Chain A
C-alpha cells in the first residue's frame, strides 16, 4: 500500500501511546526534583494587603515561599498580549498589567499571589493552604454585561469603564443602506457560551536551572515551544534565548489552551533559579478550570437583510466580548480579526459591518479555543440563515444556495479573499448522504414514537493556515506567522524532518513523513519527524489555527524542493546525465530512458563522502526553508445534523450527523476524518453540554467534571464524513487545514436541528435538557396565547 499523499497510513507514533510509553511533561522527573504549588486568590477581585508565609515556611520540607514583589523585583516582566488592536477612534487597546504573581490586586478567582516550593507535591499543596493572605475584597464584575455598565468596578486602572477597545470592520453606511433596501430583515440576539478547552492532559511545567552554565531547561505542555521561548526571553526576561531550552514532549491535546505562556511556567523557571532546584508544577483538573484560558463568551446583536429573491443585501453585527481579567497572548485577535472577517460565510454579501467592544471581567482570561472567533462568526451567520429561511418560508438549503459564492477568487467586504471552493457541491454531497429527501418520513416515524425530530444545516467557511506574516503584521500581530522546516538526508539515506509545527495529537510524525515518502519514494519507516525542542529545531511558530498542514507542511515541501534540486545535481554528475533527465521514484534516482540509476541511499552517501560531487558543490544533504503563506487558506464545509428531542424531558439525541468538507488536498484521510470527528464532538459539546458558569461574585460554579459536562461516548453518534477536494492555489501541496472545521461548523447545525424539531427559534447554547424543555414550554405558551 502506498504511504504517500492521500493514503490512510496508520500512525507511526501510536505504539508508544498504546503501550504507555509516551513521554508527557509530568512524566519527566529530574534529579533533585522539587514541586510547586500556587497560592491562589479565593476572591474574584481584591486588594492584597499582606502575605504571611511564616506557617508555611515553618513546615518540614518546604524549601521556599516566593511572592510577586520578589518576582518583579528580579525583573521578571509582565505577561503581554501579542496582538495590538486599534480602536475605531485610533486609540490603542488598553492592556492592563499582568504579573505572573499578583502584587497589589487579584482580579479573578485563581489569580496566583505566591508559590510554595517543597519536597513533594502533596506537601507543597498543604503548605500553600497555610500561606495566609490578607485580602480586602472589592466589588466584582463577573460578566461582560456587568463590567460594561456605568459605575462597574474598575478592574485595571488604564482601562476606563473596563473597555479594552471599540473596534469595527466593514462599511457601516453601506450595511445600513443595504438593510434599508431589504424586503425582509432577520434579527437575532445570541450568546456564544463560554467554554473551558479541557485537553485531557492538564498543563504541566518542569523547570531546571543549571547554575554552572546559567542555563534553563523547561519541559512544558506547549503547542509552540519556540514561541514560548521567544516571549519568556524577550518579554518576561526569564533568560535570553540562547540560555533557555524549551521542550514540549508528548503533549496530550491543546485546542488552543496550550498556546499561551502562563504565569506557572514563568514562575517555575524563576523559582528554579531562586531555589537552585528543578521545579515541577502539574495542574490538577480543578486548577485547570481556574487557570487555563477559557474560550468564546460573546454577546451579539445582529440584523441581516434580504431582497425579494432571498439575496442578502446587508448584514450588521454588534458584538461584546469578554476578555477576562487579563489579556492573554492572542486574546485581542480572537473577537476581531479571527471573527469579523468570517462574517461573509459562504455567501456573496456586499455590505457587512461589524462592531466589537471588549471588556475586562473578574474571570479567567479568555483566549483562542479550537476555531477561535470563527465558530462565533459561523454560529451567528448560520443561525441567521436558518432563521431567515424559516421566517421567509424558504427551504434553508435553497436560501443558502441562492447566496453562495460561485466564482473564485472572491473578495469579501471584510478583508478576506477566498481562493477556492465549491459550496453547492459539498452541500449537495451532504444532502445526499444525509438523505434529506427521506427526512419527512423519518420525522413522522419519530412522532409516532413521541419524539420531535428536526434537521439543521451549517454551511461554513474558515480562514486557516495562519497566516501571511505581512498581512498579520498590518493588522497588529506582534509576530510573523510563517513556519520553518529542515530536511536532513543522512549518509545512509534515512531522512529527518525538523519542523516548527508541534504535534499534540494531530499525527505529524505520520503525515509529515508521508509528504517525504511521496516525494522521494522512500519507505515511510525511514523518515523521522523531529519537533518540540528548541535545541533541535531552529525555530517555529507552532501548531494552532489549522496551520500545520498549509504552513508547516508547506515549509517541509519547500525544503524538499531544495533537497531534490541538490539530489538531481549529485546524481546527474555521478551518472553523467543531464539534471533534467533525472527522475526520483521508488527509492531510486534514475536517468529517464536509460537503465542508469543510483539507489536513494547511494546519493546520500555520495553527498557526505563528497568524493565525486559537482565542481564547487558543498558536501552534505541538508536544506532548510521558511514558508510564509501569501494568503489564508479557506476550508469550507456543509454539515447536516438530525436530532430527536424527548419533549417530556427536553433531552436531545443526535441521531445523524453528516459532514462534507473541502480541505483541499488531503494527506491522510484517516487522520483528517479523525480531526473532523473530534472537532464536531467539541462543537456538539458547545451546543448541548458545555458552559463555564460564574456566579455574580465571580465564583466558578462548575469547576470540575462533576459539574462541567464533557462530551462522552454516548452523547455523540458515529459520523458520516466525506470530502471534496478543491486544492488551495496558495501553497505547494494545496492543503487548507482540517483541525478546526468540526468545532467551527457544528454548533449551529445542532441548534438549527433542535429549533426545527421544537418549532421555536428562541434557544441558547448549551441546549441542555432543561433549556430545551423550557423552550418547548415557552413555545407552547406562545401558541396558546395566539
Chain B
C-alpha cells in the first residue's frame, strides 16, 4: 500500500476537517472494500478518516414503523438486530448474505452505499424500500442518492450518518451470487409499501442499481409470480461479462423477481 495518514475523529466536525485537510482524503468505515483496493494500488488516499469513533453513528433504533440504522452499523448487526427482524426481515436477510461472516463483522451499511458498487446488495434494498440517506448536511432519498457506477449524490466532505428505512408491509430479496466474489450477479429486492410496489435490481445494470418500472407496474397490479411472466425484461443496459451475458442477466432478473415474490 502507498503510505497514508490515519485519523480517528471523535466528531463529525473533526471528520469533515480531516477530510478537507488532506489532498486526497477518504473516509474509512469497515474498510472491506477500500483496504483491498489500496492493497492493489488502485486507491492511494493521502489520509484515511475513520468515522467509527464518532459517537452516535453506530446502532439501530426503531421509531414506530421506521428503522434508523447508523452509518457505521455492521452488516452482522443489521442481520441480527431484533428491530430489523421485526420491521423489515428482508433487509436483515439481505445483510446476512453480504460477503462472509468475517466481512459482515467489519463492513458497514454506510460504507457499502457510499461505495455504490454495481453488484452490492444494500443499494437494491434501500432503493426498493424507499429509504432516506441521512448525511451531516441533508437528507437524500434513495431515488436521488444512487447515481450510477460507484457514483452517489454525496458532495465532497459530505458524510453519511444514518439510513432511515420505512417498514414495508412486505418485502423480500432474492440474490443470485456471482460465484467467485459472492457479490450479486443479479439481486432483486421487491418491497410492497402498502401503497405501491417498488422493485430494485442490483448486479445487472450498466449504470448500477436501478428500479424496474415494468416489474413494479406488473406487481402493483397483481402481486404474484405469474405477473412477472408478462413483463418483458429487456437486456438493454445490462452488464455482459465473463460471469453472465446481458440476456442471461435479464433472464435472472425475472427468475429472482419471482423468487422474491414467492417468498413474500
Q: Report which A residues bind B (CB closer than 8 A).
A: 122, 125-126, 129, 284, 286, 648-649, 689, 693, 701-702, 705-710, 768-770, 773-774
Q: How far is the CA of A710 from the CA of B179 in the complex (A)?
A: 9
Q: How far is the CB of B228 from chain A (nearest CB, A)?
A: 12
Which of chain A's residues have a CB closer than 8 A to the CB of B242?
693, 701-702, 707
Which of chain B's residues have a CB closer than 8 A to the CB of A125?
41
Q: Within B109-140, which residues are at the interface with A (CB < 8 Å)?
A: none
Decide yes or no: A649 and B41 within 8 Å by CB, A126-B2, A702-B242, A707-B243 being known contacts.
no
Which of chain A's residues have a CB closer than 8 A to the CB of B41?
125-126, 129
Which of chain B's residues have a CB closer than 8 A to the CB of A769?
176, 179
Q: How far is the CB of A766 from chain B (nearest CB, A)?
A: 9
Q: Mark B166-189, 1 if CB is under 8 A from A, else 0.
A: 000000000010011100000000
- B244: Cβ under 8 A from any A Cβ: yes
Which of chain B's residues have a CB closer than 8 A to the CB of A706?
180-181
Known pairs A284-B39, A709-B179, A770-B245 / 18 extra A-B pairs, C-beta < 8 Å: A125-B41, A649-B176, A689-B179, A693-B242, A705-B180, A705-B181, A706-B180, A706-B181, A707-B180, A707-B181, A707-B242, A707-B243, A708-B180, A768-B243, A769-B179, A770-B244, A770-B248, A774-B248
- B40: Cβ under 8 A from any A Cβ: yes
Which of chain A's residues have a CB closer than 8 A to the CB of B40?
286
The 25 listed contacts between A and B (C-beta, < 8 Å) are A122-B1, A125-B41, A286-B40, A648-B255, A649-B176, A649-B255, A689-B179, A693-B242, A702-B242, A705-B180, A705-B181, A706-B180, A707-B180, A707-B181, A709-B180, A710-B180, A768-B179, A768-B243, A769-B176, A770-B243, A770-B244, A770-B245, A770-B248, A773-B251, A774-B248
Task: List 5 A-B pairs, minimum CB-CB distance, nearest first.
Answer: A709-B180, A709-B179, A706-B181, A770-B248, A648-B255
- B252: Cβ under 8 A from any A Cβ: yes
Q: How far is the CA of A708 from the CA of B252 in the complex (A)?
A: 21
Which of chain A's residues have a CB closer than 8 A to the CB of B248?
770, 773-774
Size range of the chain B interface in the assembly: 10 to 19
Q: How far is the CA of A774 from the CA of B247 in the complex (A)?
A: 10
Q: How far is the CA of A701 from the CA of B243 in the complex (A)?
A: 11
Q: Report which B residues bind A (CB closer than 8 A).
A: 1-2, 39-41, 176, 179-181, 242-245, 248, 251-252, 255
Interface residues of B, dominant DSSP? loop
Q: How far is the CB of B53 from chain A (nearest CB, A)?
A: 25
Which of chain A's residues have a CB closer than 8 A to the CB of B179?
689, 709, 768-769
Q: How far is the CA of A446 from the CA of B6 in the complex (A)?
A: 56
Q: How far is the CA of A693 from the CA of B241 in the complex (A)?
A: 11
Decide yes or no: A649 and B252 within 8 Å by CB, A707-B242, A770-B245 being known contacts.
yes
Q: How far is the CA of A705 from the CA of B181 in the complex (A)?
A: 7
Which of chain A's residues have a CB closer than 8 A to the CB of B244?
770
Which of chain B's residues have a CB closer than 8 A to the CB of A773?
248, 251
Q: How far is the CA of A709 from the CA of B1 in the complex (A)?
A: 25
Q: How far is the CA of A769 from the CA of B245 in the complex (A)?
A: 12
Q: How far is the CB of A304 from chain B (nearest CB, A)?
A: 32
Of chain A, the residue at the smallest CB distance from B2 is A126
Of chain B, the residue at the smallest CB distance from A715 is B179
Count chain A CB atoms within 10 A of each CB in B40, B180, B181, B243 and give the residue with the most. Answer: B180
Which of chain A's residues have a CB closer than 8 A to the CB of B176?
649, 769
Q: How far is the CB of A712 from chain B (nearest CB, A)?
A: 9
Which of chain B's residues have a CB closer than 8 A to the CB of A774?
248
Q: How far is the CA of A710 from the CA of B180 in the complex (A)?
A: 7
Q: How far is the CA of A179 from the CA of B255 in the complex (A)?
A: 47
Which of chain B's residues have a CB closer than 8 A to the CB of A126?
2, 41
Q: How far is the CA of A286 from the CA of B41 in the complex (A)?
A: 12
Q: How far is the CA of A774 from the CA of B251 in the complex (A)?
A: 11
Which of chain A's residues have a CB closer than 8 A to the CB of B180?
702, 705-710
Q: How far is the CA of A707 from the CA of B180 in the complex (A)?
A: 5
Q: How far is the CA of A718 from the CA of B192 in the complex (A)?
A: 40
Q: How far is the CA of A16 from the CA of B206 in the complex (A)?
A: 49
Q: How far is the CB of A499 from chain B (nearest CB, A)?
A: 38
Of chain A, the residue at the smallest CB distance from B180 is A709
Q: How far is the CA of A774 from the CA of B179 in the complex (A)?
A: 17
Q: How far is the CA of A286 from the CA of B42 in the complex (A)?
A: 13
Q: How far is the CA of A269 from the CA of B98 in the complex (A)?
A: 44
Of chain B, the residue at the smallest CB distance from A122 is B1
Q: How far is the CA of A457 from the CA of B2 in the complex (A)?
A: 52
Which of chain A's residues have a CB closer than 8 A to the CB of B245?
770
Which of chain B's residues have a CB closer than 8 A to the CB of A284?
39
Q: How far is the CB of B150 from chain A (nearest CB, A)?
A: 15
Q: How far is the CA of A122 from the CA of B4 in the complex (A)?
A: 12
Q: How far is the CA of A27 from the CA of B208 in the complex (A)?
A: 42
Of chain A, the residue at the smallest CB distance from B254 is A648
Q: How far is the CB of A268 from chain B (nearest CB, A)?
A: 22
Q: How far is the CB of B149 from chain A (nearest CB, A)?
A: 16
Of chain A, the residue at the smallest CB distance from B181 is A706
Q: How far is the CA of A689 from the CA of B180 in the complex (A)?
A: 8
Which of chain B's residues have a CB closer than 8 A to the CB of A129?
41
Which of chain A's residues have a CB closer than 8 A to the CB of B251?
773
Q: How far is the CA of A495 from the CA of B176 in the complex (A)?
A: 56
Q: How far is the CA of A701 from the CA of B241 in the complex (A)?
A: 9
Which of chain A's residues have a CB closer than 8 A to the CB of B252?
649
Of chain A, the residue at the smallest CB distance from B1 is A122
Which of chain B's residues have a CB closer than 8 A to the CB of A701?
242
Of chain A, the residue at the smallest CB distance from B251 is A773
Which of chain A's residues have a CB closer than 8 A to the CB of B255?
648-649
Which of chain B's residues have a CB closer than 8 A to the CB of A286?
40
Q: How far is the CB of A614 from chain B (nearest CB, A)?
A: 65
Q: How far is the CA of A701 from the CA of B240 in the complex (A)?
A: 13
Q: How far is the CB of B3 from chain A (nearest CB, A)?
A: 8
Q: How far is the CA of A709 from the CA of B41 in the complex (A)?
A: 23
Q: How far is the CB of B188 from chain A (nearest CB, A)?
A: 13
